[in-house]
Amino acid sequence: MPSFRYAGNELRRRASRTVLTALGLAAGVGLVMGIVGVSAGLDRAQQQVLSPLGSVGTDILVTRTVAATGTAATGTAATPTPSATPTPAAGQGGAGGFFAGGGGPGGRNGGGAAALASLDDADATALLNENSSVITDLSKLGKAGTKFTHDFFLAGTLITFPQQAVDTVASVPGVTSVTPALTLQAQHQTGTVPNIVAEVKTGGETLTSTTRPAPLTSSEQAAFRSCIVANGGFGDAPGPAPSPGTRPGGGQGGGGGFGATQKCLPKRFQEYQTNVVTPLRTIQQIVNPPATDTTSSSYTAAGVDPASVSTGLITKANLSSGSWFSSDVVTNSGQVLVSTAYATKQKISVGDKLPINGTSYAVVGLVNPTLTGNTADVYFTLAQLQKNATKTGRVNEVLVKVGNASQVDAVAAAIKKALPGAQVVTGKDVADTVTGSLQNARDLASRLGGALAVIVLLAAFVIAVLLTLSSVAKRVREIGTLRALGWSKGRVVGQIVTETTGIGLLGGALGVGLGYLASIAVAQFSPQLTATTQGVAAGASTVSSLFGQVGGQAVTRNVQLTAPITAGTIALGMACALMGGLLAGTIGGWRAARLSPAVALRDLG
């Protein structure tokens, strides 16, 4: 048993050294706690954004896309529609469509089909059908020259499927709940209805040429006359009976005389009476699309089940202001929720009205969608969006909740089997695509932070050891006396270790205080981190490519960094400080124990 009172008195007597050593340890401990806290904060932030599906009560997202991944679908699918434009002749129906097809089957088999060759036939068909509303004849929006504003709702690469598929998913064992949703790419267009739709066809005409030949020469006339006469020609001259065989043209009247005339005319007169049919040619003339002042902006619209408040693309928990949809079907069909990011950009606030295709929607709330790939800007009720997009009874996303987290992968596989062609994404898949400053900070914290903590802690340890050694050097006579009095080496070491452990405790306490200050400082400055995910599938779609937009659907979310301090962190900090104290005490004590007791006798002045 070391003497605690002796140790305590000793620490008090050398208070400045004690405090200095303790402060060194405290700095190390504080930093370690700060780094551990920040690391925990980053973990927490990551948890918040990296399990986005989980945070909306969803484990699996079921969609149907034209290809396995969003990016691949974008690259391939972006080609067909524009390529159909310069070849209007191909399968052009008579509709006078601005773009190929006008929804007719011909358009689908035209230029688009070739470009879509790499896609599955069924997928290609579905993709074009889904997006057919973009191939809209603008002239149908009004008389040429009038202004129009219209929102087109398109599925992009996220193909819709009948709502019955939801029941199929629900029947998969392990699924506890399913929530259907519809996410569409909305193109908001304003402009003037274009005034010409040109169509040019050439070739295939019959050309008739009439030429007056030069009069017969007198010799020709004589020959003609004699020929006529010889063939029993003119009435005034006797001749043989007309031969029916010489009159193939018939119908000329005047007896057989005309037949003879034909026969008797010189060759050149005979040729000029033939009709000339020009060779059939097709002259292609490129018709520029009519110039209009059409401007287009896009946003994402989603239809959610207003009755599903805890699962779905958004949940009641995502509300940042305002309120959720009304439970009344008639009322809620006229209501929308707007994402805070979109609301900020568009200066929309709760209570505003959003006019869309002639209907005014009341903005009842702002939501902070979680970091799924399919966050939308404007949320309608599912039924209303289906109506707007004329997709009644169709959805393109099913959010699935699984009873047991360990079953997620198995259930995902089962859904894939039950719905061939479905893309099944789990929360982990989404998390894997996350990038941004959060991810960077996380990497930084784990790599640099850890190293920094170790370095600072080691420095604190070294300082503690050096100060303890210097303290031992100053107490040579005292330690020698203790040894002379019969204190064993172990007892001397124990006494020194007791003292430095006391310093360690003090340093730990100060360090925990510093750690708390660091935590508070982090919360005060609250650095904002961003996390970006490339999204699941609705990503840069055919449509947004068509309208010259590239990407843009990556979802970014800001997270406030905190540095929470837990009991474990405090324990770790204290442990570090005590370890420093023990280390310093052991080394200092070992040095002290090596002192000869004879130093007690020396006259040290």
Partner 1 sequence: MSDMTANLYLLESVERRYERGGSTVHALRGIDLSIAEGELVAVEGPSGSGKSTLLQLLGAMDTPTAGRVDFDGVSMAGASDKALTGMRRDAIGFVFQQFNLIPTLTAVENVEIAIGRGTGGKVERRTRAAELLGTVGLSERGDHLPGRLSGGEQQRVAIARALANNPRVVLADEPTGNLDSATAHEVVDLLAGLNTTHGVTVIVVTHDGEVASRMRRRVRLRSGEIASDSGAA
Binding-site ranges for partner 1 (CB under 8 A): 1, 3, 5-6, 9-10, 12-13, 477-478, 481-489, 596-598, 600-601, 603
DSSP designation for 167: H
Shortest distance in whole angstroms from residue 5 CB to partner 1: 7
In DSSP notation, 417-448 reads HHSTTEEEEEHHHHHTT-BSHHHHHHHHIIII
* Residues 586, 592: Cα–Cα separation, whole Å: 10
Could you tell me the two tokens for 99?
């773009």
Ramachandran category for residue 557: left, alpha or beta (phi over 0 → left; psi -120 to 50 → alpha):
beta
Shortest distance in whole angstroms from residue 484 CB to partner 1: 5
User: Do the beta carbons of residue 302 and residue 183 sit within 8 Å?
Assistant: yes
Shortest distance in whole angstroms from residue 489 CB to partner 1: 7
Shortest distance in whole angstroms from residue 503 CB to partner 1: 16
Nearer to partner 1, 538 or 600 (CB): 600
Shortest distance in whole angstroms from residue 560 CB to partner 1: 50
DSSP designation for 213: P
Nearer to partner 1, 9 or 297 (CB): 9
Element (H, E) at 453: helix 450-474
Nearer to partner 1, 487 or 547 (CB): 487
Nearer to partner 1, 137 or 478 (CB): 478
Shortest distance in whole angstroms from residue 605 CB to partner 1: 10
Nearer to partner 1, 364 or 600 (CB): 600
Nearer to partner 1, 293 or 603 (CB): 603
SS3 letters across 495-514: HHHHHHHHHHHHHHHHHHHH
Nearer to partner 1, 336 or 593 (CB): 593
Could you tell me the two tokens for 497?
């270790």
Nearer to partner 1, 13 or 212 (CB): 13
Shortest distance in whole angstroms from residue 13 CB to partner 1: 5
The residues pairing with 182 across neighbouring beta strands, listed in sequence order, are 303
Shortest distance in whole angstroms from residue 495 CB to partner 1: 9
* Residues 418, 322: Cα–Cα separation, whole Å: 39
